[in-house]
């Protein structure tokens, strides 16, 4: 069983994906970490002319040890990720890694931006998780503050809006809601309610597929 979860930054998709994975006993891949890892490797070279070549090489050489979430959660790394994610060769290099993860026996849960539209177009369940930018900025500010990495709400909101805009216009991306995705807006929900809603959608979709 493959569950594909897409949506913008801090929409709740990562937490929902992790909890659905635990619920169904499936492995989980946060695909944002792949782009963040490439972004971090390129963070001092973002304006270099040879960024595409170097970023593609970094994506091709990516190793599981590069994917430590604790080292990749800084807002600057997210911005760098958004920059390198516009390079088609980077997306191509990371595509196989994601597909291999999805196709492991038993299946998997993947969350990102183009899982339902590009990576796992045949996923058993597709969810698109969203929330208002203010709500997402508040959540991300609180998450970082809880880790002792203070950031102002206004700065986070500006950054989330800029990243949304860059992602929406990503020439190499497919960051739209898949036709067969179930939409879930978590703006008015806490994480428990969001997980319950996502689980209900997933179970109904799976029941539908098995004719139950």
Cα gap 83→36, rounded to integer Å: 10
Other C-beta atoms lying within 10 Å of the C-beta of residue 3:
29
CB of 129 to ligand C5P, least distance (A): 11
Dig out the tokens for 204 from the structure.
Answer: 């109904």
Residues in contact with ligand C5P, shown as a per-residue x/- string from 140 to 159 under the rule CB under 6 A: --------------------
Q: Which of 9, 21, 123, 201 binds ligand C5P (CB under 6 A)?
A: 9
Closest to ligand C5P by CB, 144 or 206: 144
Residue 56 backbone phi and psi in degrees, to 5: -65, -45
Q: Which is nearer to ligand C5P, 9 or 197 (CB)?
A: 9
> For residues 85 and 182, which CB has a smaller minimum distance to ligand C5P in the complex?
85
Alpha-helical regions (H) of the chain: 13-24, 32-41, 51-60, 75-84, 88-102, 133-146, 153-168, 191-209
Subset of residues 73 to 112 that bind ligand C5P, contact rule: CB under 6 A: 78, 81-82, 85, 112
The only residue of 28, 41, 113, 182 in contact with ligand C5P, by rule CB under 6 A: 113
We find the least distance from the C-beta atom of residue 150 to ligand C5P, in angstroms, to be 19
Which of 167, 182, 201, 205 forms a contact with ligand C5P (CB under 6 A)? 167
Q: Which is nearer to ligand C5P, 15 or 82 (CB)?
A: 82
Q: Does 62 bind ligand C5P (CB under 6 A)?
A: no
- How many residues belong to the site for ligand C5P (CB under 6 A)? 15
Q: Does 59 bind ligand C5P (CB under 6 A)?
A: no
Indicate the SS3 state at residue 188.
Answer: coil
Residue 32 CB neighbour total at 10 angstroms: 22
CA atoms of 102 and 11, how far apart (whole Å): 22
Among the listed residues 175, 168, 7, 172, the one whose alpha carbon sits nearest the alpha carbon of residue 90: 172
Phi first, then psi, for residue 113 (nearest 5°) are -120, -30
List residues near ligand C5P by CB under 6 A.
9, 31-32, 35-36, 78, 81-82, 85, 112-114, 163, 167, 173
């Amino acid at each position: 069983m493959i569950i594909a979860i897409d949506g913008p930054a801090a929409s709740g998709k990562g937490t929902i994906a992790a909890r659905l994975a635990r619920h169904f006993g499936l492995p989980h891949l946060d695909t944002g970490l792949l782009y963040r890892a490439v972004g971090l490797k390129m963070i001092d070279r973002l304006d270099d002319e040879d960024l595409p070549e170097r970023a593609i090489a970094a994506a091709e050489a990516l190793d599981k040890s590069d994917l430590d979430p604790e080292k990749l959660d800084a807002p600057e790394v997210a911005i760098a990720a958004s920059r390198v994610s516009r390079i088609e060769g980077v997306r191509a290099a990371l595509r196989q890694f994601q597909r291999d993860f999805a196709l492991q026996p038993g299946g998997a849960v993947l969350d990102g931006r183009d899982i339902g539209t590009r990576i796992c177009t045949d996923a058993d369940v597709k969810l698109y998780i969203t929330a208002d930018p203010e709500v997402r900025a508040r959540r991300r500010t609180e998450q970082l503050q809880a880790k002792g990495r203070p950031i102002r709400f206004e700065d986070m909101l500006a950054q989330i809006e800029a990243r949304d805009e860059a992602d929406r216009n990503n020439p190499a991306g497919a960051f739209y809601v898949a036709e067969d995705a179930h939409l879930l807006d978590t703006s008015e929900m806490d994480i428990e309610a969001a997980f319950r809603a996502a689980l209900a959608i997933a179970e109904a979709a799976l029941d539908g597929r098995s004719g139950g």
